Structure 1
Amino acid sequence: MAKITYVEHDGTEHVVDVPNGLTVMEGARDNGIPGIEADCGGACACSTCHVYVAEDWVEKLPAKEAMEEDMLDFAYEPDPARSRLTCQLKVSDELDGLRVQMPEKQI
């Protein structure tokens, strides 16, 4: 299980325990975290679960696969270094302490 901090655009923080095996997106959905819409349900077919990963976590996460890179082109104000789709981040003990911030809106 990993403790993940989800930060809304206005700075409101939600710290939740997310079970291993789920995705960061599923952790947000299951805990009612606003700002992650996940319209496609986690199929990497939209960009509505886009977040900005805390800078100190960028290098700790697995590299983006081509499909995620392509979908980030449709995200609201993507950051080449920090933007990730939460449906592509599988939770494990190694993600304990992860901080993600939602963009102003999802498109």
Structure 2
Amino acid sequence: MKKSILLMTITTITLTGFISGCSRDYTPTAEATGEDIFKGACMECHDAIEGKENIFYELTADNKNIEFFSKKISGGSLLMPKFPNITADKLKAVSQYALDHSADK
């Protein structure tokens, strides 16, 4: 029982640290490109896939679209915080950059 509680505590602390490592307060500058935004907001947590230069994601056909990235960036998910300050044309730009650097799963 004590081991289970200790394991759950360590897991919670680790996940909290991981999630907070990605900045949700990031705000792109007016001049920021999709690449600039990706480097500033996403690369803290998302590295290129090993052996695939400049490919950050492997996606199924259903998820390989701008809407998938836009929803994920603005709404977050279980392990990813939302980025409410990336909006409109900046959201589209970073979503397109992420899509352009994705491969088929």
Tell me the TM-score normalized by structure 2: 0.28
Greater Rg over alpha carbons, structure: 2
Tell me the TM-score normalized by structure 1: 0.28
Name whichever structure is richer in strand by fraction. 1
Name whichever structure is richer in helix by fraction. 2
